[in-house]
Amino acid sequence: MKASQTFRCLGRVATSFWYDTSGIILPYVTVLLVVIVGMALLALDGGRAYSLQTQLQNIADAAALAGAAELNRAPGARQRATNAINNLVSNRLAGMDVTNVSLSTPVYYETLPQANTYFSSGTVSPDDGHARFVAVTLTHTMNTIFPVSFLSSGAANSYTAGGQAVAGSDVVACQYTPMFICNPYETNSMTYDQATAALQSAGTGTMVALQGAGNAQYSPGNFGWIQPASGSVSGTCGTGQVEAQAAALSRPPACFRNTAINTKPGNMTVATDGLNTRFDLYRGAFSQCNTDANYPPAPNVRKGMIPGNGNNGACNPNYPNPQSPYPPTADGNQAMGFPLDNNMLTNGSPNNNNGNGQWTCGDITASVTGVITSGNGNNATVTLTVGSTTGIFNGIRITDQTVSSRIPADTFVRSVPSSTTVTIPGQGVSVQSGDSIKLNGYWSTEHPPGTSGAIRDRQQLPERCIV
């Protein structure tokens, strides 16, 4: 009986345990708890990854903009841009909360492809002068909280995020005269950087001939005028031609892009007249603009003038041709426009677009070593040989200091055939070898003895004159 009772008791316990449902959720909780914790870790890592990606993109954007701001096409632009990018990233100037960011070498582009094409297919810039855009790429690796390697053997417990950005820089210049010149200091053997450096080191006060001088052209029909990129250019006086108004106004409402300009072909005389207002020369379409406050001359203007007639003649002068600066007049009261400098003259004629800023403004004295007369009467020409013709050019007044009557009054140099010879009209000339001759320079012409007038009262020689 005892044995059977024991079996019955165990049976009842087993049956009770089998049908007992208390605590049944515990196995499920045990299994799901691992899943829940894993999901929480994944969510946390996802948030960290999203935040890291956002921060890296912000850094890339800021770095690209910092680099683009240095791309001014000047020598060293790419290196300055690289330094600016490195400085921003290394000093955490973008407000980032991550450290040890890996920055790839910035890539500089001359052009970018269409918007639907990845920028790496753009044209890489060969030098500083063509670098218009910079691409920045950076990465950072973050350790994950979720043990990825537990799920997959060999998987990394880390996450790498990156950011990329490309930016360009453009400069817009406003209220400038719409003209351009090619770099006068560039030679055929120079690179862009070398030519730019030569321009930056050029001294002030030098003279450069505009391409339009003497009807010269950069290309067929192109005389150096620029078409404004933006702005409505109109004036209160003169022609309605846009380039002419932009050249004449002291502050033209026109803007120009640094990256590209559109030239304006055509030999536009009205634009030249507009530019002349800046030199206090009101002619052609702008002849009536001298009383308009929108068309003042530049603050510092020097010019040679022949006073006009009447009591107000000094205010209404005639303008001599600067390349033939001594036009004789009946009373000998001629004036001289400031001449081309010594470096721009070859044998007395314009032959170089680049000046050195040095003028022979004082009188020139020379000894005659040879005399050749050709022709007769009014057609006679006398060729004088001297030591050097530097500073001598067509139209300069000449006198004989040995015997004044050997060269008639108001005789002017007709031409300068070589570096040692000059020609003058031969009628009445009896100059001899060994005579000392004087050629009146800028100062003597502007201040002849016994004359007066608005242009005769300067108290000192212009700067950079060689007396």
Q: Classify residue 161: in a domain, yes or no.
A: yes
Q: What is the pLDDT of residue 187?
A: 81
Q: State yes or no: pLDDT of 14 exceeds 80.
A: no
Residues 79 and 93 in one domain: yes
Percent of the chain with pLDDT over 70: 73
CA separation for the pair 242, 254 (Å, rounded)? 9
Q: Classify residue 264: in a domain, yes or no.
A: yes
Residues 291 and 175 in one domain: yes
CA separation for the pair 215, 415 (Å, rounded)? 21
For residues 171 and 72, the answer to whether their CB atoms sit within 8 Å is yes
CA separation for the pair 76, 197 (Å, rounded)? 10
Residues 182 and 297 in one domain: yes
Q: Per the structure, how many domains does the chain have?
A: 3
Residues 64 and 154 in one domain: yes
Q: Classify residue 13: in a domain, yes or no.
A: no
CATH number at residue 451: 2.40.30
Beta strand ranges found along 351-446 (DSSP E): 359-360, 364-367, 370-374, 381-385, 398-400, 421-425, 436-439
Q: Classify residue 418: in a domain, yes or no.
A: yes
Q: Classify residue 327: in a domain, yes or no.
A: no
The pLDDT tens digits of the residues spanning 363-403 come to 889 999 999 998 887 788 999 999 988 878 777 889 999 99
Percent of the chain with pLDDT over 90: 14
Query: Which DSSP state fits 343?
Result: G
Query: Which DSSP state fits 295?
Result: S
The pLDDT tens digits of the residues spanning 425-438 come to 988 899 999 999 99
Q: What is the pLDDT of residue 130?
A: 83
In the sheet with 436-439, reading across from the earlier edge strand, the strands are: 364-367, 436-439, 398-400
The pLDDT tens digits of the residues spanning 139-157 come to 888 888 877 777 777 777 7
Q: Classify residue 426: in a domain, yes or no.
A: yes
Residues 163 and 45 in one domain: yes
336 class by beta-carbon count within 10 Å (0-12 exposed, 13-18 middle, 19+ buried):
buried
Q: State yes or no: pLDDT of 297 exceeds 70.
A: yes
| 77-90 and 25-68 helices, crossing angle to 10° | 150
Q: Classify residue 179: in a domain, yes or no.
A: yes
Residues 75 and 178 in one domain: no
Residues 261 and 223 in one domain: yes
CA dihedral angle for residue 277, residue 279, residue 280, residue 285, rounded to 10 degrees: -30
Residues 400 and 448 in one domain: yes
Q: What is the pLDDT of residue 383?
A: 93
Exposure string over 179-201, b if 16+ CB within 10 A, otherwise e? beeeebbeeeeeebbebbbeeee
The pLDDT tens digits of the residues spanning 72-99 come to 877 888 999 999 999 888 887 655 566 7
Mean pLDDT of the chain: 77
Residues 230 and 126 in one domain: no
- Helix and strand element counts for the chain (H, E): 8, 19
Q: What is the pLDDT of residue 213?
A: 52
Pairing of strands 465-466, 359-360: parallel
The residue out of 115, 141, 168 marking a domain boundary is 168
105 or 119, greater pLDDT: 105
For residues 393 and 348, the answer to whether their CB atoms sit within 8 Å is yes
Residues 150 and 66 in one domain: yes
Residues 159 and 176 in one domain: no
The residue out of 301, 322, 357 marking a domain boundary is 301
Q: State yes or no: pLDDT of 303 exceeds 80.
A: no
Residues 379 and 459 in one domain: yes
Q: Classify residue 191: in a domain, yes or no.
A: no
> In a 3-state reduction of DSSP, which class is residue 138?
strand
* Domain containing residue 263: 170-186+209-301
